[in-house]
Amino acid sequence: MPYTVILRTGALDSAIAEAGLDGVSAAGAMSLSPSALAVVRAGVRPPDAEFIAGALAAFPELGFGDLFEIGAEADEDDERDG
């Protein structure tokens, strides 16, 4: 079974708010475009290496497990069934 990295959206949103950032400035702090931040936050695509590295660099007080979790990728058959 393949695995994927899943963003803990609430944790990222809390980190952004605690840092006093808005979406555009948070994306800049993570060295991402605002649209790249938005599509991962919305669950449209999983976080890639650039996103993960940017989040950990922008919020060094948080570890990988604070911002991300490992989950099983959805099976295409499961997506059609459900």
The pLDDT, as a whole number, for residue 75 is 67
The tens-digit pLDDT sequence of the chain (82 residues) is 799 999 999 999 999 999 999 999 999 999 999 999 999 999 999 999 999 999 999 999 999 999 999 999 876 655 555 4
Query: How far apart are alpha carbons 44 and 18 in whole angstroms?
Result: 25
Residue 67's domain spans which residues?
3-81
Predicted TM-score of the model (pTM): 0.86
Classify residue 59 as exposed, middle or buried by CB count within 10 Å of its CB (0-12, 13-18, 19+): buried
Q: Give me the number of domains the chain comprises.
A: 1
Greatest Cα pair distance in the chain: 42
CATH number, domain of 49, equals: 1.10.260.40
Q: Please report the pLDDT score of residue 24 as a whole number.
A: 97
CB-based contact 9:67 (threshold 8 Å): no
Residue 1 tokens, joined: 């079974």
